[in-house]
Structure 1
């Protein structure tokens, strides 16, 4: 489909929210809030509750609540704290010893959590599943050699190489959740929809497309104490619908568009907060497709598009500009990355040198939503100024993300992409390696030096040396001109004034166990 979205259309959301605020007030049914439970909005339904095959943050946030890891993230922090482990010791670069807390039990009658469950949970990532495929997050444990059980509650995690990212990418994250070996073997395919754990909450109910309900686990004996008896999650895909639901007191917490923060803050009993994100939004060409196999054409694209104009027109000037892959909060941030300003004449010169003085036609593929449609419209107008005619193809979410399967990206020409970030730079760089061509490297860019730097960064322990490695890797991305960075995003949230959310610094992950009543 071809879209013609104006800037005015893209920014109309705030007006509808303001109207809802003016008309809504406090609905009498919610005037006396039940403080034993909260209702949160999630942007999509649960998909896969197997931690090794989770589909994204919505799944993970629930998994974290129900299953323990040896360690877990601290609220509002990238640091971690002990969870199922009573002790965790880094013996050397390739050995971690753990001792579990006694008395931890799985729900569903699956017995005590033991070191055998830890071994099974982590080593799952090393082996293909029943269909012969690696688990989705196999790379999180790429450094693992094996787990040795030294006692009922004790063991050693033995690595093939040093892995400085292991704590943040695996152990404290979803790939470090401890599953019941007995439950996995008994449930089979139902394991992905039946969440068995030893953590603070149980998944009491899940009605697809309607809601899920987390309820305090009465048998939990760990150190992380939840505040609310129940947490209800309501999937609402449309942002404006969610914001209106918040204004009508139907939900207590939701992510919002930062543009609507001021209007929502005027809602009775509302608090609005913002968190700088570590995502990465960019667009770029498939460099295997002519004419994008010519670096001069790619450089012309980069000079023809007005990134600052996109930030004004599609992001209301509220989002920071990205000039490289890694956000400022991350190790390896390239603070001196080039800032490419729009230069139409230079772009035309490059196109002429490449033999495209008369321009050409191409297609830009995006995920269908108002913001990305607005970005695409600006790109379309910008490239028309240098003779490049752009057709915009907007795909529904499922069809868009299916481009990561079965080499479907080979047919792309231009694509607009947004990936969620994690707290270690190795998570971000992994998607641009040669082996990701046909999966998530949609630009199909391959560079042996980049691959080597990614591998080296993953095993380098010294932080200063790691930072230097990731800057060098980003320089190679820049030289390719295959990646035109837009923003690292901003996360904004609306919550009741009496509610303190448990949001991690990336903004996408929430610790439901850390949601609590706000202090005066």
Structure 2
């Protein structure tokens, strides 16, 4: 990703060949000759963890969706669901869902038929992990009591309490994918890198850091029919490199920076799509680390940092400012959240009151992208003005997200983070509960009131009451002064004119089965 993004038009001749050689991609002439049975899609990062219960984000999830079935799955472009592995599914009551599977569904790899026992194993493993290890997405199935198998292809999902978000957060999403019990018991930890499913695609090949390829599953017996026989996915971390690849015809679809929209609209046979995002980007301190255990220091940092300058300098003024966790399109949006403006004198006074008039040294950990490096540079300069000397620790994607494992995050001081959002506020809020300390709660924010509200919000059916709950939770986060919100992002994409991508409304979630010819 590059802060000063390319403003060049279509690249031809030698540069096109150079880009192809550099990326290991086919030359445009060869790609055109191959026809449209396959497409090449750029991904921001490589695959990390292909276990639905422990996936690391939307890139893993997009592939899991394509290879594994759920009882239901999202329809492209909406948050509505359609039948998938289920032939029938019924919400019998607030705490019971009955289902009947389609006959003839088979797992790849010779692991046999998909049965109700696999559904039971797939969902219950979130609340009772077979290996005893914590499950990253356990909260998605927290309302689950058990799955009762009533026949080889039928069963009942029994909940402990009403769960209004279950259809969107779990059943239709990655946490609702059905794994093969037989395969997972045989594979153990290898399930993180071995994708066994019954869905429309198979993971045909995966060469780490180079490409992974989805190919049609010849034994698929479900209702969702993909257009393309093969989807080649290229992990290209740098936005400028990805844009060159698209301009020169090497890639058919890529996420771009909104700053590049005008340039990419000028590429022949191409179009640009823009979707408001529901991500949340923030930075903040580890509340348990000195001197950040003093709220005066946390408040000083919040006053010292100029969020508007970050939006201008690192986002070219094209992204909306975030003042709390929930984006405007979500239930629980806090429209009256405080908007903190920079106050250097106020920050210095707070530091002096905390006995730190001479400042201190600290480390800011970020993901190594040009965007985050630009943000970090502004934060570094802002904090230097109040006597805080910041060292920037930029990590590659895999190393950065590995901080969510094994309590590695306990040693963080300041961190800059982007989480991808889902369509219900309970998804956004779950990562900041006390139970998430040691996993994804890197600020180590701990509030029993917050935890209780989070549990209440997940089972409250009335939308107005739920909204009030999530606003109260965001107020608690604001009171902690551990979260300096930056933006909810804007997602922009460049695509060939003949290609209609299967995007969900948040922009991060892609249904490869929904990619069609326009």
TM-score normalised according to structure 1 size: 0.92
TM-fit CA distance, 1:347: 2.3
Q: Which moved more, 1:315-324 or 1:219-228?
A: 219-228
User: Do the aligned partners of 2:127 and 2:142 also contact (CA within 8 Å) in 1?
Assistant: yes
Q: Which moved more, 1:396-405 or 1:89-98?
A: 396-405
1:386, distance to aligned residue in structure 2 (A): 2.3
Alignment partner, residue 318 of structure 1? 318
What runs of 5+ residues in structure 1 fail to find an aligned partner? 1-8
Contact preservation (8 Å) 1:127, 1:134: no
- Counterpart position of 2:70: 69
Q: Deviations 1:441-476 (Å, cap 9, x if unpaired)?
A: 221221111111111111111111111100000011
Q: Secondary structure at the match of 2:88?
A: strand
CA 1:365–1:181 in structure 2 vs 1: closer, same or farther (change >3 Å)?
Answer: closer
- SS state of the match for residue 126, structure 2? helix
The count of aligned residue pairs is: 508
Contact 1:161 1:459 in 2 (8 A): yes
Mapped pair 1:167 → 2:159: no
- Indicate the residue corresponding to 1:48 in structure 2: 49
Contact 2:45 2:397 in 1 (8 A): no
Post-superposition Cα deviations, 1:349-402, rounded to whole Å, max 9, x if no partner, equal 333333333333322222222111111111111122223222222223333223
Map 1:407-426 onto structure 2 (within 5 A).
Answer: 407-426=407-426
* 3-state SS in 2 of match to 1:14: coil
194-203 or 269-278, which moves further after superposition? 194-203
Alpha-carbon distance in 2 for matches of 1:263, 1:481:
40
* TM-align CA RMSD: 2.2
- How much has 1:188 moved relative to structure 2? 4.2
Alpha-carbon spacing, 1:115–1:321, altered in 2? closer, same or farther (3 Å): same
Question: Which whole-Å CA distance do the structure 2 matches of 1:361 and 1:207 have between them?
Answer: 41
| Counterpart check, 1:478 vs 2:470 | no
Q: Distance in 2 between matches of 1:392 and 1:377?
A: 8
Alignment of 1:29-178 (within 5 A): 29-32=30-33, 34-130=35-131, 132-178=132-178
How far apart are the structure 2 equivalents of 1:326 and 1:486?
Answer: 12
Match of 1:345 in 2: 345
* Residues 389-419 of structure 1 deviation map (CA, whole Å, 9 limit, x = unaligned): 2222222333322322333323222221111
Report the alpha carbon displacement of residue 340 of structure 1 after superposing the two structures with TM.
1.0
Aligned with 1:38: secondary structure? strand
CA distance in structure 1 between the partners assigned to 2:32 and 2:216 by the alignment: 25
Contact 2:43 2:59 in 1 (8 A): yes
Q: Which moved more, 1:257-266 or 1:322-331?
A: 257-266
Provide the C-alpha distance between the structure 2 equivalents of 1:468 and 1:423, rounded to a whole number of angstroms.
17
CA distance, structure 2, for counterparts of residue 12 and residue 184 of structure 1: 46
Distance 2:435 2:398 in 1: 23
SS at match of 2:259: helix
CA contact 2:3–2:374 (8 Å) conserved in 1: no
Contact 2:48 / 2:398 at 8 angstroms: preserved in 1?
no
Alignment of 1:447-458 (within 5 A): 447-458=447-458
| In 2: Cα distance, 1:397 partner to 1:102 partner | 41
* Cα offset, 1:95, TM superposition: 0.8
Establish whether residue 225 from structure 1 lines up as the match of residue 225 from structure 2: yes
State the alpha-carbon separation in 2 of the partners of residues 306 and 189 from structure 1.
44
Deviations 1:64-87 (A, max 9, x none): 112110110111112211111122
Structure 1 residue 258, shift from structure 2 partner? 1.6
CA shift in 2, pair 1:189/1:471, >3 Å: closer
Match of 2:258 in 1: 258
Tell me if structure 2 keeps the 8 A contact 1:97–1:155.
yes
Q: Aligned with 1:272: secondary structure?
A: strand
State the SS of the aligned residue for 1:126: coil
Structure 2: 5+ residue stretches without partners: 18-26
Aligned partners of 1:398 and 1:203: how far apart in 2?
21
- 8 Å contact 1:21–1:267 — kept in the other structure? no
Deviates more, 1:454-463 or 1:464-473: 454-463
Shift in Å, 1:227: 0.9
1:21: Cα distance to partner?
7.5
Give CA deviations for 1:472-504 in whole Å, capped at 9, x if unaligned: 000111111110000111111111010000111
Deviating beyond 6 angstroms after TM superposition, the runs of 4 or more aligned structure 1 residues are none
- Structure 2 CA distance, aligned partners of 1:211 and 1:353? 54
Determine whether 1:377 maps to 2:369: no
Deviation, structure 1 residue 30 = 4.1
Distance in 1 separating the partners of 2:202 and 2:237 = 24
CA 1:423/1:190 → structure 2, altered by over 3 Å: closer, same or farther? Answer: same
Hey, what's the Cα distance between the residues in 1 that align with 2:415 and 2:140? 26
Partner of 1:12: 4
Distance 2:390 2:187 in 1: 49
Shift of 1:33: 5.9
Which residue of 1 is the match for residue 193 of structure 2?
193
Asked whether the equivalents of residues 279 and 418 of structure 1 are also in contact (C-alpha less than 8 Å), the reply is: yes
CA–CA separation in structure 2 for the residues paired with 1:54 and 1:515:
22
In the alignment, the residues of structure 1 paired with residue 448 and residue 491 of structure 2 have an alpha-carbon distance, to the nearest angstrom, of 35
Q: How does 1:441-452 map to 2 (within 5 A)?
A: 441-452=441-452
CA deviation string 1:318-374 (max 9, x = no partner)? 111000001111111111111111122322333333333333332222222211111
The structure-2 alpha-carbon separation of the partners of 1:312 and 1:33, relative to structure 1 and needing over 3 Å to count, comes to farther
